[in-house]
Amino acid sequence: MNAPLRKAEAAPGLDEALVEVRNLTVDFLGGRKPVRAVGGVDFDLRAGDALALLGESGSGKSVTLRALMRLLPEARTRIGGQLRVDGHDVLGLGRRALAAYRGGTVAMIFQDPGLALDPVYRIGDQIAEAVVRHEGVSHAKGRARALELFERVHIPSPARRLDAFPHEMSGGMRQRAMIALALACRPKLLLADEPTTALDATVQIQILLLLRELQRDLGLAVIFVTHDVGVAVQVADRVAVMYGGHLVEVGSSGEVIGAPAHPYTRGLLASRITPESPKGIRLATIPGSPPDLSDPPPGCPFEPRCALAIPGCRDGLPTRVPVAPGHAARCIRIGEAA
Amino acid sequence: MTAPTTLASVDPAGGAATAIETAELPIQGSRGYWGSVLRRLSRDPVAMAAALVILCIVLAAIFAPLIAPMDPFKGAMARRLRHVGDATYWLGSDELGRDMLSRLLYAGRLSLFMGVLPVVIAFFIGSGLGIVAGYAGGWVNTLIMRIIDVFFAFPSVLLAIALSGALGAGILNSIVSLTVVFVPQITRVAESVTVQIRNRDYVEAARVSGAHPFAVVRVQVLGNVLGPVFVYATSLISVSMILASGLSFLGLGVKPPEPEWGLMLNTLRTAIYVNPWVAALPGVMIFMTSISFNLVSDGLRSAMEVRQ
Amino acid sequence: MSGTAEPTRGAAPPAGGTDPRDRGGPAQPLLAVDGLVKHFASKGGLFGKGPVVRAVDGVDFAIAKGETLGVVGESGCGKSTTARLLMQINRPDRGDIVFDGELLGSRALDLKSYRRQVQMVFQDSYASLNPRLTVEESVAFGPRAHGLSGSAALARAHDLLRRVGLEPRRFGGRYPHEISGGQRQRVNIARALALEPRLLILDEAVSALDKSVEAQVLNLLADLKREFGLTYMFISHDLNVVRFMSDRVMVMYLGRIAEIGPADAILAAPRHPYTAALLASQPSTDPDARLDEAPLTGDPPNPINPPPGCRFHTRCRFAAEVCRTREPALDPVAPAHFAACHMAVPGSGHPDAPQLPMAA
């Protein structure tokens, strides 16, 4: 089904994908009706690459990210499909293997550093402890690594800041400290869940540049979840647009932003205000609201709001249609004269 | 209203076409907050079982004259301290030969009354004081809360005994002293909840609408404060029942021969070696009733937690 | 209610854009703020109070009738505190608020009649609605508090809900948690409009919304402004949105105004290096225009101890000696365009300042 895309994406030769997601589905149980938050997502990511998952609230982007780390509450979620990260079958990991996988292979940063940083421990000790637990080295070695990491993420006067508590740092510094903690055990994949959304633009750009630098220097693969097109472009070379639990369009950021193929991506970009938007015009909007995921539309998730919808759009989820090399979208009307 | 309604003077169809939202919401009447709380509470088996126990005890107390097999005041010295399971006295008889079952049923009236009434009175006084202190802030808050703090210096049991002792024995005095014990506790909870609510954006929006503070409190604050305070108050009913029983036990509350669980526990304590099961029965009633109130209170608390 | 506005009203019917409550005519600013100061005592230790947070530290500006003034700046710059001072949620320590020529607190303009004319929409659409009230009850609260009967207030609430694009029969009886974020923010806008204000303060009112919803709400705000002849103070961190919405823009830094002037002029050719840095920090959607260096380093400083001289000099790449010692005044740099930067003022002593004319 996704053959054309895979061909376009898989690099030639032995360059295996670090992340392989195949038909990932996530259902939340426990409510009156199960909610299909992710409805079958496929993508690959090579080591050292950065991918932005772009979508609005309820699109399933954060859930996809959490599934990669198995952070969803097990009792109330059902995950289907295949997740392979660096050779691990993520969904089949046992408890011990999962603990080693989290932090050792994959690490995550959040919008709220409070989710990652313990408020009652000094940050340096938190990082040292993570290193000790994963690598079995002495506490002193762990502290040394913490200092190295603080320098790595450009925290000024790092030796002094190691002894700070999270609340003693400013927002941007806390975000850097959380990145340092995430890097403590040398992960190969960094998952970022809107880590800059709560920051001022002046600080946000610093964090985005830091992530790009880490990606380049450490060969870190990054999956960055965001709702902001500008942020996605700044941090990632490839963009995957999510809507209603599905990946509707994937491609290089230049392709997706410059020549969007899916009607949702087009609508999303058209409703954005750019420095060029003439004043006083009516902004283009997408009518309606996102689908109810406990009762998703039968075919294309965007069909109820789509200006280009035809009856055929309701006959099942559209397959991926290649638009250009490395650029594909799930829309049956691509290729017709649009 | 003197201001001309400029809004109404504009043609509703005119102006730019603002798209009417047509979200695919089910067009069913929404249940309201308390409706959804009750629905969640009804799904909580523990709370429902406890509520059923309370209902049974309350009904038994109300209809005691109809269901009690004997006169609770009439004893027969020849038939003292019969055991549980006796052919005539199903739950045995007490130290004066009175039927335990009948006395336990009648005793529920006074015990429930003394458990619930002080909490109800304290709920109104404490919520009032707490909301005033929390909403007004400043010196009003300092005045009320510092006075309240004085009461916290004494353990509630001691305070209740001291007040009852000072006022003299009797049902009314017990209720007064128990109320005084609970007012500070409820005031403190009401104050802290009010301070939280007061700084919510919607209360500020209501304040900047220029509404009178009473209107803001009545519409925007009250409903959000009374819920949590109510839950807290229900958890005090069990404490009140135990304290009331304690006062009666000490001879500071209900006077014999009036049936009341705490008092019965007191008068039967001499029989504990002769007939331990009968002597323990009033205690069992106190325990069952108070734990049931606590379980309902816990269920209510979790049913009221609404997340977005 | 207070009767203060009655004499000027009476005759003129509300038509052709002139508001019967208008007093000074179009040339008189709707709102003028002079020397606004608010310091908060931060939490101290065990004894006494902590250092003073200079949240708003001497701010003057005016908003003309019918215009939109955009306000931008990092967190801690004082933009939200300014909004709360204007709303009188917090009382300013110093400074005058003059509304359509009348000083707030004078006999001509008491707080109650001022509040009817100035309303605010908060950022958090959920926190700003009472979870125990239905949508229509929340909107009807203000009119009821001002003396409308229950049914009349409800009728106005329905009218307003329809006006903000929510079918009253469908949404009026719903509770805040039953509707989406965009719909909630429409309710908040309806609630703010229920008292027929002339000035609406929008404090990050669209910032928490998804982009496609944000566009809907911005369109709505533009419609309402035209329909009701409103004046907006539009606070946002998104410079693109501010430029799109505003006639003039005010840039704040550490409790002071750094630059104020026509939106197009300021955002096309900023005169204050802070404005330029803010602009450059907005992530561009052009993959070929990615930044390689952050325009500013570090976090916005804490307004507890603003640096001496120009408050921005600690982060400014053009800082010279004069910036460390002398605080620049908010001086005119172009028609209706003011900037508080030594580089913009001839003869300020900054090496990059324009030369004084030779005649001097």
Contacts for B43 with CB less than 8 Å, ≥ 6 apart: none
Q: Is residue C252 part of a domain?
A: yes
CA distance B51 to chain C (A): 25
Cβ–Cβ < 8 Å for C281, C294: yes
- Cβ separation B210–C128 shorter than 8 A: no
Q: Distance between CA C160 and CA B271 in Å, rounded?
A: 74
Among C146, C161, C187, pick the best mutation site for testing chain B contact (most B Cβ within 10 A).
C146
Task: Identify the three-state secondary structure at position B196.
Answer: helix
Residue of C nearest to B205 (CA): C128
CATH (domain of C54): 3.40.50.300
For residue C33, pLDDT over 90 is answered with yes
Interface check for B138 against chain C (CB to CB < 8 A): the answer is no
Report residue C2's pLDDT band, with 50, 70 and 90 as the boundaries.
very low
Residue B49 belongs to what domain range? 33-65+100-304
Cβ–Cβ < 8 Å for C110, C188: no
Residues C217 and C265 in one domain: yes
Confidence (pLDDT) at B1? 38
B299: left (phi over 0), alpha (psi -120 to 50) or beta: alpha
- Cβ separation A275–C75 shorter than 8 A: no
Residues of A in contact with C219 (CB under 8 A): 282-283, 285
Q: Distance between CA C186 and CA C160 in Å, rounded?
A: 10
For residue B227, pLDDT over 50 is answered with yes
Residues C161 and C278 in one domain: no
Work out how many CB contacts closer than 8 A connect A with B.
9
- Cβ separation B29–C173 shorter than 8 A: yes
Q: Which residue has the tokens 């700046």?
A: C73
- Cβ separation B24–A287 shorter than 8 A: no
- Cβ separation A272–C285 shorter than 8 A: yes
* Closest by CA position to A44, among listed A74, A10, A20: A20
Q: Which residue has the tokens 């690459």?
A: A49
Report residue C357's pLDDT band, with 50, 70 and 90 as the boundaries.
low
Q: Is residue C117 part of a domain?
A: no
Q: Which of B7, B19, B215 sits opposite C165 (nearest CB)?
A: B19
Cβ–Cβ < 8 Å for B300, B47: yes
Among B18, B24, B307, pick the best mutation site for testing chain A contact (most A Cβ within 10 A).
B24
Where chain A has pLDDT below 50, the residues are 1-14, 337-338
- Cβ separation B19–A292 shorter than 8 A: no
CA distance C45 to chain A (A): 15
Among C210, C212, C314, pick the best mutation site for testing chain A contact (most A Cβ within 10 A).
C212
Contacts for C215 with CB less than 8 Å, ≥ 6 apart: A271, A272, A273, A283, A284, A285
Residues C225 and C244 in one domain: yes
Confidence (pLDDT) at C18? 63
Report residue B35's pLDDT band, with 50, 70 and 90 as the boundaries.
confident
Residues C190 and C64 in one domain: no
Q: Is residue B133 part of a domain?
A: yes
Superfamily of the domain at A3-105+187-329 = P-loop containing nucleotide triphosphate hydrolases (3.40.50.300)
Q: Which of B16, B19, B24 sits opposite A287 (nearest CB)?
A: B19
Confidence (pLDDT) at B20? 43
Confidence (pLDDT) at B269? 78
* Closest by CA position to C281, among listed C321, C238, C249: C238
Q: Is residue B295 part of a domain?
A: yes
Q: Is residue B49 part of a domain?
A: yes
Confidence (pLDDT) at C14? 38
Confidence (pLDDT) at B26? 41
CA distance C138 to chain A (A): 23
Residues C185 and C275 in one domain: no
Asked which of C196, C215, C248 is the last residue of a domain, the reply is: C196
Please state the rounded mean pLDDT for residues C213-231.
Answer: 92
CA distance C58 to chain B (A): 24
Residues 10-49 of B with CB under 8 A from C: 10, 12, 14-16, 18-23, 25, 27, 29-30, 32-33
Residue of C nearest to B210 (CA): C112
Q: For residue A157, how many other CB atoms are within 10 A of its CB?
A: 8
Confidence (pLDDT) at C145? 87
Confidence (pLDDT) at B308? 36
Interface check for A57 against chain B (CB to CB < 8 A): the answer is no
Q: Is residue B13 part of a domain?
A: no
Residue C146 belongs to what domain range? 129-196
Q: What angle do CA C282, C288, C292 make, to 5 degrees?
A: 60
Q: Is residue C327 part of a domain?
A: yes
Residues C182 and C306 in one domain: no
CA distance A292 to chain B (A): 8
Q: Which of C210, C277, C288 sits opposite A57 (nearest CB)?
A: C210
Residues C150 and C221 in one domain: no
Interface check for A12 against chain B (CB to CB < 8 A): the answer is no
Q: For residue A215, how many other CB atoms are within 10 A of its CB?
A: 20
Confidence (pLDDT) at B21? 44
Q: How far is CA B265 from the centre of its chain?
A: 23
Confidence (pLDDT) at B31? 57
Q: Give the strands of the sheet with C94-99, arranged side by side.
A: C52-63, C31-41, C94-99, C102-103
Report residue C20's pLDDT band, with 50, 70 and 90 as the boundaries.
confident
Residues C204 and C276 in one domain: yes
CA distance B25 to chain A (A): 9
Q: Which of A74-83, A196-205, B234-243, B262-271 has the lowest mean pLDDT?
A: B262-271
Q: Which amino acid is at C238?
A: D
CA dihedral in degrees (A22, A45, A90, A78; nearest 10)?
-40
Report residue B257's pLDDT band, with 50, 70 and 90 as the boundaries.
confident
Confidence (pLDDT) at B32? 62
DSSP C231-294: EEEEE-S-HHHHHHH-SEEEEEETTEEEEEEEHHHHHHS-SSHHHHHHHHHSPPS-GGG--SS-
Share of chain B above pLDDT 90, in %: 19
Q: Which of C1, C115, C183 sits opposite B2 (nearest CB)?
A: C1
Q: Is residue C335 part of a domain?
A: yes
Q: Which of A172, A234, A277 sits opposite C244 (nearest CB)?
A: A277
Give per-residue pLDDT as tens, B137-159. Answer: 889 999 999 999 888 888 888 88
Q: Is residue C212 part of a domain?
A: yes
Q: Is residue C11 part of a domain?
A: no
CATH (domain of B144): 1.10.3720.10
Strand-pair partners of A21: A43, A83
Residues of C in contact with B5 (CB under 8 A): 156, 196
Residues C250 and C146 in one domain: no
Cβ–Cβ < 8 Å for C219, A285: yes
Q: Is residue C84 part of a domain?
A: yes
What burial class does residue A88 get, using C-beta atoms within 10 Å of its C-beta: 0-12 exposed, 13-18 middle, 19+ buried? middle
Interface check for A200 against chain B (CB to CB < 8 A): the answer is no
Residues of B in contact with A285 (CB under 8 A): 19
Residue of C nearest to B27 (CA): C170
pTM, two decimal places: 0.82
Residue of A nearest to C290 (CA): A234
Cβ–Cβ < 8 Å for A107, A187: yes
Cβ–Cβ < 8 Å for B293, B234: yes
- Cβ separation C287–A172 shorter than 8 A: no
CA distance C115 to chain A (A): 29
Residues of C in contact with B22 (CB under 8 A): 167
- Cβ separation A205–C295 shorter than 8 A: yes
Asked which of C171, C196, C221 is the last residue of a domain, the reply is: C196
Q: Which amino acid is at C317?
A: R
Q: Is residue B78 part of a domain?
A: no
Q: Token pair of C246, please?
A: 């505003």
Asked which of C157, C172, C196 is the last residue of a domain, the reply is: C196
Q: Distance between CA B154 and CA C306 in Å, rounded?
A: 48
Confidence (pLDDT) at C25? 79
| Inter-helix orientation angle B261-268/B276-304, to 10° | 150
CA distance B42 to chain A (A): 15
Residues of B in contact with A292 (CB under 8 A): 24
Please state the rounded mean pLDDT for residues C297-313.
Answer: 87
Residues of C in contact with A200 (CB under 8 A): 74-75, 237, 299-300
Residues C218 and C323 in one domain: yes
Among C68, C299, C304, C317, pick the best mutation site for testing chain A contact (most A Cβ within 10 A).
C299
Confidence (pLDDT) at B131? 94
Neighbouring chains of B at 3+ CB pairs within 8 Å?
A, C
Share of chain C above pLDDT 90, in %: 52
Number of domains chain B is built from: 1
- Cβ separation B23–C147 shorter than 8 A: no
Average pLDDT, chain B: 80
Peptide bond into B69 cis (omega under 30): no
Among C285, C288, C293, C304, pick the best mutation site for testing chain A contact (most A Cβ within 10 A).
C285
Confidence (pLDDT) at C23? 78
Residues C161 and C241 in one domain: no
Residues 171-230 of B with CB under 8 A from C: 200-212, 215-216, 219-220, 223-224
Number of domains chain C is built from: 2
List where CATH 3.40.50.300 sits in chain A: 3-105+187-329
Q: Is residue C308 part of a domain?
A: yes
- Cβ separation B210–C138 shorter than 8 A: no
Interface check for C299 against chain A (CB to CB < 8 A): the answer is yes
Interface check for B23 against chain A (CB to CB < 8 A): the answer is yes
* Closest by CA position to C218, among listed A162, A284, A115: A284
Confidence (pLDDT) at C44? 54
Residues C272 and C335 in one domain: yes
Residue of C nearest to A58 (CA): C210
What burial class does residue B175 get, using C-beta atoms within 10 Å of its C-beta: 0-12 exposed, 13-18 middle, 19+ buried? buried
Interface check for B7 against chain A (CB to CB < 8 A): the answer is no
Residues of A in contact with B18 (CB under 8 A): none
Q: Is residue B298 part of a domain?
A: yes
Q: Is residue B83 part of a domain?
A: no
Q: How many angstroms separate the Cα of B140 from the Cα of each of A336, B123, C174?
A: 73, 20, 37
Residues of B in contact with A287 (CB under 8 A): 19
